[in-house]
Amino acid sequence: MYAYPLHLTDAALDVLASDPRFCPYLDLPLQHISDAMLAAMGRTMTKAATLALLDRLPQKLPGLALRTSFIVGFPGETEKDVEELLAFVREGRFTHAGVFLYSHEAKTPAAQLSDDLPLEVKQARRDALMAAQLEVSRRRQAARIGTRFQVLVDAPVERGARVPPGVRALARSQHEAPEVDGVVLLRGAAAARLQPGTFAAARVVESLDYDVIAELAQP
């Protein structure tokens, strides 16, 4: 699922689109969107090239779920760079996103740079980006209410688990990767009888921040 942007060619996208064995899901690690930061990080794609790729993806892969990751606090990152990144996230292009704090890694070019931003500044920038993506996620999840799709059952809900009332099983659609994304919470007694590894049809009845609540539906 990890697709380095520079190597994600139209030929690769055509293969993904032509074979039903592939889920319409990509993890596209962008790290940043400011040209100044992209250059400092050694990324060879510019903002313009990145935006062109992002515009092309839904044309090639309709219904694509897109995950990305960003790094904040890289040496030399300015408030202007962060505001540019925040505006980019608020556009709502990403289904899922993670944000990491920069830290020195030995034997990398960046390790020679001065780590000039205090930890609390990095944390505040991460929190701002995650808050922006949270709003995007809420809108996206709410838009799924009433939709039907196939899910893969992961596990029954264990006794004492903190889940909404009536939820009996945890599942994922083709838009949620294991461990890193949200889940589909299956409600109803019939859901409790589903075995892990089972595929089932579900209909979304409620949305949360990152998850949705669904009920079993006719295929």
Taking the C-alpha atoms of residue 75 and residue 52, their distance in angstroms, rounded to an integer, is: 27
- Does the domain at residues 148-216 carry the CATH identifier 1.10.10.10? no
**Helices 47-60 and 10-18 sit at what angle, rounded to 10 degrees?**
20
Half-sphere exposure at residue 190, Cβ-oriented, CA atoms within 13 angstroms = 9
In tens, the pLDDT along 144-190 reads 999 999 999 999 998 888 999 999 999 999 999 999 999 999 999 99
Residue spans in the chain of domains classed CATH 3.80.30.20 = 5-142
CATH topology of domain 5-142: pyruvate-formate lyase- activating enzyme (3.80.30)
Residue spans in the chain of domains classed CATH 2.40.50.140 = 148-216
Q: Sheet of 96-101: strands edge to edge?
A: 25-27, 65-72, 96-101
Taking the C-alpha atoms of residue 157 and residue 160, their distance in angstroms, rounded to an integer, is: 8
The structure's pTM equals 0.91
Taking the C-alpha atoms of residue 102 and residue 210, their distance in angstroms, rounded to an integer, is: 25
In tens, the pLDDT along 27-74 reads 999 999 999 999 999 998 999 999 999 999 999 999 999 999 999 999
Q: How far is CA 6 from CA 9, 18, 150, 185, in A?
A: 8, 21, 32, 36
